[in-house]
Structure 1
């Protein structure tokens, strides 16, 4: 079948890869001149298969007043007159229950563990692709004793879901990651997960593009999708670049912009952008930088070593679709990096800055699968987990299109939920 994939970020490219492997003729369509030009360009670099718990959790609402009062808060909300924004916020608040959070975590872990297995298989199948992949392991640092005790209390629950984790003292954290020696007195401990990975999402995406082109997948870049129209029999036709882009099936993988693209069809998907930021610091040969994937739990900032660079990412700003960076947010991210890894940040004012929109659903789970239109499919709403969940999401979607849905996953992420 001829399948058009709308969107050339990591979700769209992974979708194209698995569809091509299944024998379909695929064309990837994107408004930019290059692949992975937006959210996939500068993401956090962590493949956090065991850390997929949604932002909407039972304790988040009590933290919001404190967070919203601080300029360096990990979460910021700028109210607008947008009904879309307020509806998303209402649904988010309703999802902040223990039952909903635990259910979503279980669902996401099913998809993330499938993604991990597929990523490791991908490495065996495509051994020439270099995207700074490392079996790094992940250390989540805690600065507060109460938070650390809460994390320890969650270990049994996480283990019951298949996560292999252990609690470490501050001294053990430093022994495991010597780059933390300068901040030994500022941390009380951490949770270590051996199975986590790190990689460069942008390099993965551009490498995937080269593989796909070599295998006959077509790319229509600099092509803006103007509309999706309903034709005879409920068949959807995409219009872009001044022509109709007909296909047997259409996969929407356009991230945050999917919401407005689908609205004229009467499909109201609860996807809204959370603006995030990242910094990329060059590392010299003698740099004292982490080799582990590190997350600062209190600050919600992640650190990933990507070859000779350190990626620092964080922030979640609920303030619309603008990609204009806020200098105060970048300054706050720089300050966090300087606090945790001062020897990396010193002398690197020229760190590469990135701003992107993470397409998030209120409850934190993506939307994958069919719509009421027989040839229209969705693969959207992955939030900050796009790279982590890309392989599993693409394989799930491909099986669904081929009429062979994974029974353990196919009921979990559809629009009807």
Structure 2
């Protein structure tokens, strides 16, 4: 089968990898180079085991700060955008403990499948991507947050998640000595020894090179629209996609265009509850001195900031803003990340180095669950792989494997009568 994948970020490339392995002819279309969009500067964490969704019951008590505090790391700024309001109402409806538990269950299963897929790819390609399985610490500044984290750990353990444990501040600093300056400033942490990091852009570049070597065609051009059977009615199959490089025909299509997917969903007759959560990152060279820069990946929940060691660099990423498709980088946001780095790891970064400021749009659903497979009244030969939010790198191979299984079922021979 000839399959056209729209999107060359980590999700689209992982999907291409799984499909070409099944023997399909694959074309990948994107207006940008592989991995150069939201995948290029993300938080670098492969968070397979601690998947607490953003939408949970604690959000209600945080609303005043989220709406009005100028220094809030999670900003909800209402705009005259019906899509934002619709998404926001769906998000608040998902902010309850039963919904969060259901989301956790699904995300853990997807993440486990994704780890299997990523490891298979890594064994096959051995990409130079600064991969490390150094573990992760999630810091909680207050007792209430730590208690809630303990409940999340218990829930994930009951669902068969990887071993995790709550640790005291002293234990956290023993695990990651670069946290010594934080002694007395946090209540405890969740530690997961099996969590990983990697440079997502390098993974994307290695995938693109390998896919091209396997005969996958890449078309760097904007996606403009679809051509459908004019006599097929509302659910007519798509037979081609219009691009800036011409019309490309295929037998099936996978939409993996991240935050831009919503508008293409409308063209296909389906509402995709996907809205961009804008995030920022900086990437800093680090000192070699023992205990200066972290080796263990660290998430500071109070600052909504992650610190991930990728080779001799420290990726610092965070914040979530509902501001539409605005990729401008306000200097104040980069200054906030730099200040967080100095506060948490004062000896880590080389002073005066270029912070390599970056902003990206995480394609998020209200619940935190990606939309994978066929949807609603959309054409049956169009599959969706969108809405991964902050877990795009983590879940990419899991959702790609799901799409591949669906298409494998389509092409399986019918059982003998």
When normalised by structure 1's length, the TM-score is 0.93
Q: Distance in 2 between matches of 1:60 and 1:46?
A: 23
Q: Distance in 2 between matches of 1:355 and 1:146?
A: 31
Q: Distance in 2 between matches of 1:22 and 1:354?
A: 36
Q: Distance in 1 between matches of 2:247 and 2:198?
A: 37
Secondary structure at the counterpart of residue 275 of structure 1? strand
Count of aligned positions: 402
When normalised by structure 2's length, the TM-score is 0.93
Q: Distance in 2 between matches of 1:376 and 1:89?
A: 27
Secondary structure at the counterpart of residue 229 of structure 1? strand
Shift of 1:188: 2.1
Secondary structure at the counterpart of residue 51 of structure 2? coil
Q: Distance in 1 between matches of 2:355 and 2:42?
A: 15
CA contact (8 A) 1:20 1:217 kept: yes
Shift of 1:349: 4.8
Shift of 1:242: 5.1
Q: Distance in 2 between matches of 1:86 and 1:10?
A: 28
- Unpaired stretches in structure 2, ≥5 consecutive residues: 412-417
More displaced 10-residue stretch of structure 1: 144-153 or 381-390: 144-153
Shift of 1:348: 3.4
Q: Paired residue for 2:152, among 142, 151, 154?
A: 154
1:193-213 Cα offsets, whole Å, 9 max, x none, are 111111110000001111101
Q: Paired residue for 1:238, among 225, 236, 241?
A: 241
CA contact (8 A) 1:281 1:348 kept: no
**Residue number in structure 2 paired with 1:13:** 13
Q: Distance in 1 between matches of 2:109 and 2:60?
A: 26
1:332-357 Cα offsets, whole Å, 9 max, x none, are 12211111011124613521111000
Matches of residues 167-206 of structure 1 in structure 2 within 5 Å? 167-206=166-205
Q: Distance in 1 between matches of 2:125 and 2:169?
A: 39
**Residue number in structure 1 paired with 2:142:** 144
Secondary structure at the counterpart of residue 404 of structure 2? helix
CA contact (8 A) 1:249 1:376 kept: yes
CA contact (8 A) 1:239 1:245 kept: yes
**Residue number in structure 2 paired with 1:304:** 308
More displaced 10-residue stretch of structure 1: 138-147 or 170-179: 138-147
1:112-146 Cα offsets, whole Å, 9 max, x none, are 1111122222222223x111111111111122122
Q: Distance in 2 between matches of 1:7 and 1:123?
A: 21
Secondary structure at the counterpart of residue 402 of structure 1? helix
Secondary structure at the counterpart of residue 140 of structure 1? strand
1:157-192 Cα offsets, whole Å, 9 max, x none, are 221122311111111111110001112121221110
Shift of 1:156: 2.1
| 2:391 matches 1:385 | yes
Secondary structure at the counterpart of residue 167 of structure 1? strand
Matches of residues 85-96 of structure 1 in structure 2 within 5 Å? 85-96=84-95
Q: Paired residue for 1:326, among 324, 330, 334?
A: 330
Secondary structure at the counterpart of residue 403 of structure 1? helix
Shift of 1:283: 1.6
Q: Distance in 2 between matches of 1:348 and 1:397?
A: 45
**Residue number in structure 2 paired with 1:277:** 280
Secondary structure at the counterpart of residue 343 of structure 1? coil
**Residue number in structure 1 paired with 2:406:** 400
Matches of residues 288-303 of structure 1 in structure 2 within 5 Å? 288-303=292-307
Q: Distance in 2 between matches of 1:154 and 1:379?
A: 27
Matches of residues 64-143 of structure 1 in structure 2 within 5 Å? 64-127=63-126, 129-143=127-141
Matches of residues 252-263 of structure 1 in structure 2 within 5 Å? 252-263=255-266
CA contact (8 A) 2:281 2:359 kept: yes
Q: Distance in 2 between matches of 1:312 and 1:239?
A: 38
**Residue number in structure 1 paired with 2:369:** 365
More displaced 10-residue stretch of structure 1: 389-398 or 336-345: 336-345
1:281-320 Cα offsets, whole Å, 9 max, x none, are 1123337111111111221111110001000000000011
Secondary structure at the counterpart of residue 154 of structure 2? helix
Q: Distance in 1 between matches of 2:288 and 2:306?
A: 22
Shift of 1:71: 2.1
| 2:62 matches 1:63 | yes
Secondary structure at the counterpart of residue 192 of structure 1? strand
**Residue number in structure 1 paired with 2:28:** 28
Q: Paired residue for 2:267, among 264, 267, 283?
A: 264
CA contact (8 A) 1:228 1:262 kept: no
1:67-115 Cα offsets, whole Å, 9 max, x none, are 3332221211221111111011111111111111110110111101111
